[in-house]
Chains A and B, each alone.
Chain A
Amino acid sequence: MNFRTTEENIFKILMFISLIAVMGSLIGIMAVVLIKGGAALSIGMVTTPPESGYYLGGEGGILNAIVGSVYLASGATVLAFFISIAIAIYLQREFTSSKAAGIIRTSLDMLWGIPSIVYGVFCFIVMMYLGIGTCLLAGIIALTMIEIPIMTRGMDEAIKMVPPELKESTYVLGSNRIETAIKVVLRQGLPGITSAVLLAFGRGIGDAASILFTAGFSDHIPASLFDSAAALPTMIFFLSALPSPEVRDRAYAAAFILLSIVLLISLASRLLTNKFSRYIIK
Chain B
Amino acid sequence: MLSEQLREDIFSWEGIMTIGVITAFMIIIIGNSGCIDSESTDKESKTIKVSGAYALYPMMVVWADEYQKIHPNVKIEVSGGGAGKGMADALGGVVDMGMVSRDIYPEEIDKGAFYVSVAKDAVVVTINSENPVLDELNKRGVTREELVKIFITREIKTWGELVGKPEIKDEIKVYTRADACGAAQTWAEYLGDYTQEDLTYGADTGIMYDPDLAGAVARDKYAIGYNNINFAYDIKKESFVEGIRVVPIDLNENGKLDEDERVYGTRREILQAIENGIYPSPPARDLHLATRGGFKGETKEFVRWILTDGQEYIPENGYIQLPSEKIKAESNVLESGERT
Contact = CB atoms under 8 A, between A and B. Distances in A.
Nearest to B60: A53
A224 B231 CA distance: 32
Given A241-B212, A241-B215, A78 B94 contact: no
Contacts of B57: 53, 55
Given A224-B33, A224-B34, A244-B242, A134 B11 contact: no
A182 B11 contact: yes
B38 A226 contact: yes
Given A133-B94, A134-B89, 13 more contacts: A56-B61, A127-B94, A128-B93, A131-B36, A182-B13, A187-B11, A217-B79, A218-B79, A220-B75, A223-B34, A224-B34, A225-B31, A244-B211
A55 B211 CA distance: 7
Interface in A53-94: 53, 55-57, 75, 78, 82
B31 A137 contact: yes
Contacts of A9: none
Contact of B95 (A57, A78, A133, A187): A133
A242 B212 contact: yes
A241 B208 CA distance: 9
Interface string A128-159: 10011111010000000000000000000000
In order of increasing CB-CB distance, the 3 nearest A-B pairs are: A224-B34, A226-B34, A53-B61
B52 to A, nearest CB: 12
Given A132-B36, A217-B79, A224 B11 contact: no
A92 B149 CA distance: 68
A165 B20 CA distance: 30
Interface in A103-148: 127-128, 131-135, 137
Given A137-B31, A241-B212, A226 B80 contact: no
Contact of A225 (B34, B94, B242): B34
Contacts of A219: 77-78
Contacts of B327: none
B47 interface: yes
Contacts of B64: 52
Contacts of A223: 33-34, 75
Contacts of A196: none
7 contacts: A128-B93, A133-B95, A218-B79, A223-B33, A226-B36, A245-B242, A279-B7
Nearest to B38: A133
Interface residues on B, range: 35 or more
A182 B12 CA distance: 6
A209 interface: no
Interface string A226-251: 11100000000010011111011000
Contacts of A131: 36-37, 93
A108 to B, nearest CB: 22
Interface string B15-33: 0100010010001001101
A133 B23 contact: no
A216 B58 contact: no
Interface in B167-215: 207, 209, 211-212, 214-215
Nearest to B85: A213
B11 A227 contact: no
Interface in B99-113: none
Nearest to B80: A55
A166 interface: no
Contacts of B12: 182-183
Contacts of B235: 56-57
> Binding site of A, secondary structure by majority: helix, strand, loop or mixed?
loop
A211 interface: no
A247 B212 CA distance: 11
A186 interface: yes
Interface string A244-272: 11011000000000000000000000000
A228 B49 contact: yes
A228 to B, nearest CB: 5
Interface in A23-69: 52-53, 55-57
Contacts of A247: 211
Interface in B54-76: 54, 57-58, 61-62, 64-65, 75
- Of the candidates A186, A187, A216, the one having the most CB atoms from chain B within 10 angstroms of its own CB is A216
A226 B35 contact: yes
Contact of A238 (B31, B34, B38, B80): B80
B284 interface: no
B124 interface: no
Nearest to B210: A55
A8 interface: no
B116 to A, nearest CB: 21
Contacts of B335: none
Nearest to A247: B211
A248 B218 CA distance: 13
Contacts of A57: 235-236
Contacts of A168: none
A133 B209 contact: no
